[in-house]
Copies of this chain bind each other. A is one copy, B any other.
Amino acid sequence: MSELFGPIFGTSSVDAVTSDGALLSAMCDIEAALADGCARAGLIADAEPVVAACNRARLLNITDLGLAAGTSGNPVIPLVAAIRTDAGDAGRDVHLGATSQDVLDTALMLVAQRAVRLVSEDLAAIDHRLTELARTHRATPMLARTLLQPAVATTFGALAATWGSGVARALAKLDELSFPVQLGGAAGTLAPLHPHGPAVRAVMAERLGLTDPGTVWHTDRTVIADLAGALGLSAIAIGKVATDIVLLSQAELGEVREARPGGSSAMAHKQNPIAAVTARAGAAQAPGLVATLLENATPELQRGAGSWHAEWPALLGLLRAVGGAAAQLRVSLTGLHVDPAAMARNLAQRRDAIDATDLGHATDVVDHFLDRR
């Protein structure tokens, strides 16, 4: 959301799908989908005037909408008012049976789905690159370091394979996520739509490309916690690779080097592994934000008095942080220069204690990793 820092943290693409404008569009889409569902269930005569008003509402001035939201406590209230006014006689067909949380939860799911897709794309590219590195450097000897001390010999391919395991698990977790539509009405019982609520929800899910959860989850925030957990997993898979790149880039080791290192405002000779550095910085936001989401996941009775609102900045922040970190790690790995000679040299320094004559064990790790691809 910051134009000054966004590109540094690689959040540019994920910023677009999590912006104020994206949220407004999502809310408009949701109100339109709701009207469509109501029409199909025979609850309203014609969805078209509502859908048309929703489409026009995408162009509402966000500053004004935000100011109006300030007095009501959420942006859905003034948005619905604006759509109703615009829809004229069809105004009574707007937002039928829904409550603000329905619209905001569903909008966050739409936004999250798009952001997670971007993260997944970056992780898939990272996964591909790690597979390539593992294959190329299957037998490239290097020093393994435990507690940052020389341990035994391994290969760079084996290290890349370990990185790949974490990334693969993170990808799998993201893949398992479902992004359910929310529709429960004022207190989660779909009251005004009864008995058509489930049918309306099904239409909405289909139209919006979300999952129909078959139930309401207003106050069951395990949905959010599950999403937060998967993003946390991505953050650590990313952070692990980025940390190792930073460490192996140390001049005294010199085993890898980013293709386009960053400079310094003070030192002309600096070669900073800046993409890995900023990937770490993004990933480092995740634990605190995950904690915030967990802390706010036990809402009071039928809607949390603050905990619901607390989710918005934390979830959007988490999507951006992890999205940016994935983008930056992808940059770091693209064209990452691996230096087998430096690896050999560092390993040879410890030849007194460390035997590197047979690395079949390490190449086996790589082969096993590649077999599972």
Contacts and interface: CB of A to CB of B under 8 A. Distances in A.
Contacts of A364: 189-190, 194-195, 197
A151 interface: yes
A172 B294 CA distance: 18
A1 interface: yes
Within the oligomer, what is the number of copies of this chain? 4
Given A159-B301, A225-B229, A284-B296, 8 more contacts: A3-B62, A4-B62, A72-B274, A147-B273, A150-B269, A214-B368, A225-B236, A246-B305
Contact of A368 (B8, B149, B215, B372): B215
Interface string A242-272: 1110111111110000001011111111111
Max chain B C-beta neighbours (<10 A), residue from A5, A75, A80, A154: A5
Contacts of A10: 70
Interface stretch (A38-46, A116-124, A180-188): A180-188
A362 B195 CA distance: 10
A103 to B, nearest CB: 8
A289 interface: yes
A353 B270 CA distance: 9
Given A100-B265, A236-B221, A302-B154, A286 B294 contact: yes
A277 to B, nearest CB: 5
A90 to B, nearest CB: 17
Given A5-B312, A305-B148, A297 B240 contact: yes
Contact of A233 (B226, B233, B295, B296): B226
Nearest to A270: B149
A26 to B, nearest CB: 11
